[in-house]
Amino acid sequence: MPPTNTYDDNTARAAGYLSRFSLNPTGHFIAGEWVTEGNQNTFTNLNPATNQPLGEVVAGTPGDMDRACEAAKEAFPAWAAMPGATRKQCLHHFADLIEDRADEIALVESSDCGQAIRFMKQAAIRGAANFRFFADKAPEARNGQSLFQADHTNFTMRSPIGPVGIITPWNTPFMLATWKIAPALAAGCTVVHKPAELSPLSASLLAEISAEAGIPPGVWNTVQGYGETVGRRLCEHPAIKAVALVGETSTGSQILRQGADTIKRVHLELGGKNPVIVFDDADYERALDAVIFMIFSLNGQRCTSSSRLLIQNSIRDRFLNDVRQRVEALVVGPPLDPATEVGPLIHQGHLEKVMHYMRAAVEDGATVAAGGHRRDDLGSGNYVSPTLFIDAHNKMRIAQEEIFGPVLTAIGFDTEEEAIALANDTNFGLAGYIWTGDTGRAMRLAQHIEAGMLWVNSENNRNLPSPFGGMKMSGMGRDGGDYSFDFYMETKNVCIAHDTHSIPVLGH
């Protein structure tokens, strides 16, 4: 990774990396071949910072998806049979290549999805870390348990489930794709990846790296295009044994329906309306830093963003005043500028959705303490001012619905019981953050808050062996460490008699 660069350096280097995407349509990668030719329909991929085209993308057809699924099916037996130690080497090589191209990946990703370059550099490195972590686990993926009885011994063994579909969203596409695909490959599954149509470019880099890393043809396939066409077909295809989605809750419902006829195993990582609860005995400054970071980093387009601030009334006015000052001081700008903290939203439709909530907040009786408007002064990109709503209550739309933008809704509370009730008063259950100096209270909240992941006095630290996922409408299933292998593998139980038990005798 080159040393920190200026905005101009980044822009020039990004233009170099992006030129290929403007010259030729971004296509599919199926059975080791690029598919860009023929009578393919394309759609235009826009730069969120300017709304100017970055290039054309091939809009896959169900036929393209069928070919990818068949390729994954054909490649499966050999990949599954490869020793884990060999897969480990291959995936480490993959990680090396990501690190070699981290600068390119970060600049392309930042240009494509509008996330600030300061975060996308980390995301590229984290992508490599995902591969290394699961590479090291590949040799033990098949391991099982030994379960004894008086007259029998049971043991379990795992085997890769088969070809799998991975469907990813637009918010941090590179990191999320590696997070899902690395464990699938380590387990011995072959993959068909359907990236989001709004940020397709880094998926294409990943497919390219897969070939460079020596992943055999058909083990990694990428099909570009729309969810309703190629995404749907991926869920319906009989060769695909499991589908992992990261996306909206409504998409999760569709995936369940689409996979029903073929009894697809499904893993859903969906939306959230995550509370950050700050008590008056918390480390004030650290809580303040974390509250700001967890909603305004990544433009608030983050599933684990702490979009609801539950603040104890005894410190509410002082804390919210400090939050407001920090929100007003956030640097909004082009994603490639190293100074930028909040970049443009992914596309115009999403900007309109976020602006809808600015209006809904006022209609429902909340007060806009900071922001609340577009940033037209930054040009034709999808810029919105970081926003703080106060005087809110938990029944308002801004407290119940996922906005997925740099928008924080603050709600006061008095007691621990009230904080728990507010935290749980949502259809979602992905993440929660607890700030208190009282360990007993932290433990009580950890027990009662309905969320798949809780952080106490921290801001979304990730530990790759730990389970990642949500409850309620935030999804089903867990990623991370061995949890990922549970999804991508079948578990078989083998029961062996010690020849000491009596067998019931019939017909004698």
Stretch that binds ligand NAD, among 86-94, 251-259, 309-317, 498-506 (CB under 6 A): 251-259
Burial-class residue 492 by CB neighbours within 10 Å (0-12, 13-18, 19+): exposed
Helix (H) / strand (E) containing 142: none
Site for ligand NAD in 481-500 (CB under 6 A): none
Calpha distance 228→499 (Å, rounded): 56
| Closest to ligand NAD by CB, 231 or 371 | 231
For 53, other C-beta atoms within 10 Å of its C-beta total: 12
Backbone angles phi, psi at 468, to 5 degrees: -125, 125
Give the 3-state secondary structure of 255-312.
Answer: HHHHCCCCCCEEEEECCCCCEEEECCCCCHHHHHHHHHHHHHHHHHCCCCCCCEEEEE
Active site residue 69: no
The residue range among 52-60, 227-235, 322-330, 433-441 that interacts with ligand NAD, by the rule CB under 6 A, is: 227-235
| Two tokens, residue 11 | 């822009």
- Residue closer to ligand NAD by CB (options 337, 401) is 401
Stretch that binds ligand NAD, among 96-104, 150-158, 249-257, 357-365 (CB under 6 A): 249-257
Selected binder of ligand NAD within 136, 140, 212, 228 (CB under 6 A): 228
| The one segment of 73-81, 122-130, 147-155, 226-234 that binds ligand NAD by CB under 6 A | 226-234
Residues 108 and 199: their CA atoms lie apart, in Å, by: 10
The yes or no reply on residue 401 touching ligand NAD (CB under 6 A) is no
Of 450, 449, 482, nearest in space to 466 by CA: 482
How far the first Cα of the chain sits from its last, in Å, is 78
Task: Kindly report the backbone phi and psi dihedral angles of residue 112, in degrees, each rounded to the nearest multiple of 5, phi listed first.
Answer: -80, -40
3-state secondary structure 376-414: HHHCCCCCECCEEEECCCCCCHHHHCCCCCCEEEEEEEC
Per-residue burial over 275-293, b = 16 or more CB atoms within 10 Å of its CB, e = otherwise:
bbbbbbebeeeebbebbbb
In the complex, minimum distance from the CB of residue 227 to ligand NAD, in angstroms, rounded to a whole number: 2
Annotate each residue in 455-484 with x if it binds ligand NAD (CB under 6 A) or - if it does not, as one string.
---------------x----x---------
Catalytic residue among 70, 189, 303, 341: 303
Q: Give least dist CB 242 to ligand NAD, A.
A: 14
Question: CB count, 10 Å around CB of 5?
Answer: 17
Q: Give, as ranges, the residues between 266 and 325 that touch ligand NAD (CB under 6 A).
A: 269-272, 303
Min dist CB 244 to ligand NAD, Å, is 10
Burial class (CB in 10 A: 0-12, 13-18, 19+), 456: middle
Nearer to ligand NAD, 47 or 474 (CB): 474
Residue 269 a catalytic site member = yes
Rg (CA), the chain: 24
**Residues in Cβ contact with 238 at an 8 Å cutoff, skipping those fewer than 6 apart:** 262
Nearer to ligand NAD, 76 or 170 (CB): 170
Return the percent helix, strand and coil in the chain, to nearest 5. Answer: 45, 20, 35
The correct pick among 10, 110, 251, 307 for binding ligand NAD (CB under 6 A) is 251
* 117, 336 Cβ separation under 8 angstroms: yes
Among 248, 391, 425, 482, binds ligand NAD (CB under 6 A): 248
Helix (H) or strand (E) holding 331: none
- How far is CA 131 from each of CA 94, 181, 355, 480, 485, rounded to the nearest angstrom? 7, 9, 38, 12, 14
Question: If binding means CB under 6 A, how many residues of this protein chain bind ligand NAD?
Answer: 32
Q: Which is nearer to ligand NAD, 412 or 477 (CB)?
A: 477
Instruction: Report how far residue 251's alpha carbon sits from residue 25's, in angstroms, rounded to the nearest whole number.
Output: 27
Q: Which of 40, 110, 171, 297 binds ligand NAD (CB under 6 A)?
A: 171
* Choice from 56, 66, 341, 402 touching ligand NAD (CB under 6 A): 402
Does the protein bind ligand NAD through residue 232 (CB under 6 A)? yes
Our CB check for ligand NAD shows the closer of 244 and 332 to be 244
A 10 A CB-CB count for 146 gives 8
Catalytic-role residue among 109, 269, 341, 459: 269
Task: Please select the residue that binds ligand NAD; options are 177, 192, 430, 434, rule is CB under 6 A.
Answer: 430
Q: How far apart are CA 52 and CA 57, in angstroms?
A: 14
**For ligand NAD, which residue of 73, 137, 180, 194 counts as binding (CB under 6 A)?**
194
Helix (H) or strand (E) holding 348: helix 348-363
Q: Which stretch binds ligand NAD (CB under 6 A): 43-51, 264-272, 326-334, 493-501?
A: 264-272
Does 406 bind ligand NAD (CB under 6 A)? Our answer is no
Contact range with ligand NAD by CB under 6 A, out of 124-132, 182-190, 240-248, 331-339: 240-248
Q: Tell the smallest beta-carbon distance from residue 475 to ligand NAD (Å).
A: 6
Q: In residues, how long is the chain?
A: 508
* Residue 412: both structure tokens together: 């006061």
Q: Which of residues 2-31 bind ligand NAD (CB under 6 A)?
A: none
Question: Least distance (Å) from ligand NAD to the CB of residue 228?
Answer: 5
Is 231 a binding residue for ligand NAD by CB under 6 A? The answer is yes
Tell me if 327 contacts ligand NAD by CB under 6 A. Answer: no
Smallest distance from ligand NAD to CB 468, Å: 7
Stretch that binds ligand NAD, among 75-83, 123-131, 231-239, 434-442 (CB under 6 A): 231-239
Positions in the binding site for ligand NAD (CB under 6 A):
167-171, 176, 194, 196-197, 226-228, 231-232, 235, 246-248, 251, 254-255, 258, 269-272, 303, 402, 404, 430, 470, 475
Q: Which residues are catalytic?
A: 269, 303
